[in-house]
A and B are shown apart, each in its own frame.
Chain A
Amino acid sequence: MTVEEPGDAARKASSYHFDRHAADYRGRFAEVTKELHTQCPVAWSDTYGGHWVVSGYQEVFDIARRADVLSNDHDPNGERRGYQGISIPQNSPTQSGFIEMDPPEQRHYRQALNPYLSPAAVARWKPVAEEVARASIDEKIESGSIDFVDDLANIVPAVLTLAMIGLPLRDWQIYCEPTHALVYTPPEAPDRARVIDQTMHMMGRLYAATAEVRRFPRPGMIDALINAEINGKAPTDDDIAGTLLLLITGGFDTTTALTAHSLEYLGKHPDERERLGRERFALLDSATEEFLRFYTPAPGDGRTISADCEIAGTRLKEGERLWLSWAMANRDPGVFPEPDSIDLARPGNRHTSFGLGIHRCIGSNVARMTFKTMLTAVLDRMPDYVVDPARTVHYETIGVIQGMRHLPATFTPGRPRGKGLNETLDDLQRASDEQRLAEPVTVRRHRAQIDTAAS
């Protein structure tokens, strides 16, 4: 909390009561965005202890890349400057991995993990993602009924992330349920205790897996973290668990949200769905970027100003909190004409959905690959799906992730093309272990070889 000083009234004259966690925010998002854009693209909000809200694209661009005056640090024990990390309000007693660190430490973590998450590294996993999507759809294809969240969009990102980390694929539900539930279960809900239990169980597995890999090394990001050098030291078990939790929470819910929203949109606009199916080669990449822009699954991140500065015409003081709204920047009409419309062929789509600057989402290549895999599988296997709006469930509040809980749909039944999900996961586990797919790309360059038994 900053102390009021003379001159603050003038600095904070552009003010707006901005509450992303409010129940009505989701419904009013476009309206709030326009108000902020026209009145004060850098605004002071008195909510959550007081913080700056940056919503204009140019302002977000100018500020986000200033690693010299912005800190991501989360320092709960006051060992440095007591900064509060990237959540506003901060709700965790621990640092959430390298997203809540500054360089050089932050850079060392990313350097350790880059060879597992680069475009070249991710491309090797494409056959695995395709098989998981195929099997997930096979489980439902004969029934003519599916929940795109529970039965597809939750599964593929979870399995791929676990595979890259070096965790058993069959355990995906242990990590999946609490990861989503933590986001959409409000603190006061009766369910909260159960969610916390599930989260503790998940954390227990992460610590146990780390101990296992220390004793019996196997490829994957756990191994990378065990052997990493961060500021000249090896990460502790707590450091490693925190990083794994970041990779899991960063990768699951966001990719699920993107996939669910996109499938919902295409279900409501069958002409666009048909066009995308038909012109897939030309449109899939631009459509993916447009869905990312419009739905911005991770809508923003907090920062702390680390040094007095003036950016985008506003004087900012050390210690002040600031919210970088990727979601609102992505609706700036100065950069994206007709910003509230989805244009599957939108050119010049320099959206900020994976962030800007040194904290660019390290999982961005995984996200794009798994999303495109799931989307093309749906367009191939069930192109006529009809969503059920009455049973569709969006997250009530979108302050943390703009997500969906359920997206039920019906479609013309088809036939399975291979084995069911559990058998497929066993086959993929075997292939991953034998081919050491989870090695970094510097060690193993080649694409996974998955023998698919056609039915």
Chain B
Amino acid sequence: MKIRVDPERCQGHTLCSMLAPSLFELDEIDGHSRAVSDEVPAGQEADARGAAASCPEQAIFLS
């Protein structure tokens, strides 16, 4: 499963990191999110889907 956070959409709500802290890292200065890796580790697909569903800006893309 591929994962990407759209930096144009992300506004730093931090829901993703709350739900799946191992999949996202938050910028120290503005709290915006980046995927730790563009590949979701095996077994964490449900967490990735949960994070994507919780983003108010719908900034997380899975494929």
Within 8 A of B (CB), among A320-373: 347-352, 354, 356-358, 360, 364-365
Number of CB contacts from chain A to chain B under 8 A = 66
Residue of A nearest to B50 (CB): A347
CA distance A121 to B26 in the complex (A): 12
Contact with B along A103-136 (1 / 0, CB 8 A): 0000000100011001111000000000000000
In the complex, the answer to whether B12 meets A360 with C-beta atoms within 8 Å is yes
In the complex, the answer to whether A357 meets B28 with C-beta atoms within 8 Å is no
In the complex, the answer to whether A120 meets B28 with C-beta atoms within 8 Å is yes
Q: How many residues of A contact B (CB 8 A)?
A: 27
Residue in B13, B17, B27 whose beta carbon sits within 8 Å of that of A360 in the complex: B13
Contact with B along A414-455 (1 / 0, CB 8 A): 000000000000000000000000000110010000000000
Chain A hits for B26, CB < 8 A: 118-120
In the complex, the answer to whether B13 meets A118 with C-beta atoms within 8 Å is no
In the complex, the answer to whether A347 meets B54 with C-beta atoms within 8 Å is yes
Please classify the interface of chain B as helix (H, G, I), strand (E, B), loop, or mixed, using the class held by over half of its residues. loop
CA distance A357 to B9 in the complex (A): 8
Q: Is A285 engaged at the interface, CB distance under 8 Å to the other chain? A: yes
In the complex, the answer to whether A115 meets B29 with C-beta atoms within 8 Å is yes
In the complex, the answer to whether A360 meets B29 with C-beta atoms within 8 Å is no
- Which bucket holds chain B's interface residue count? 20 to 34
Chain A hits for B12, CB < 8 A: 118, 360, 364
CA distance A128 to B50 in the complex (A): 32
Q: Is A214 engaged at the interface, CB distance under 8 Å to the other chain? A: no
Residue of B nearest to A353 (CB): B56
Shortest CB-to-CB span from A369 to chain B, Å, is 11
CA distance A349 to B50 in the complex (A): 9
In the complex, the answer to whether A356 meets B11 with C-beta atoms within 8 Å is yes
Shortest CB-to-CB span from A19 to chain B, Å, is 27
Chain A hits for B11, CB < 8 A: 356-358, 360
A110-B30, A119-B17 known; 4 new pairs, CB 8 Å cut-off, are A349-B15, A357-B57, A360-B12, A360-B13
- A-B contacts, 10 listed (Cβ < 8 Å): A110-B30, A115-B29, A119-B26, A120-B31, A285-B19, A348-B53, A352-B56, A360-B12, A441-B28, A445-B28
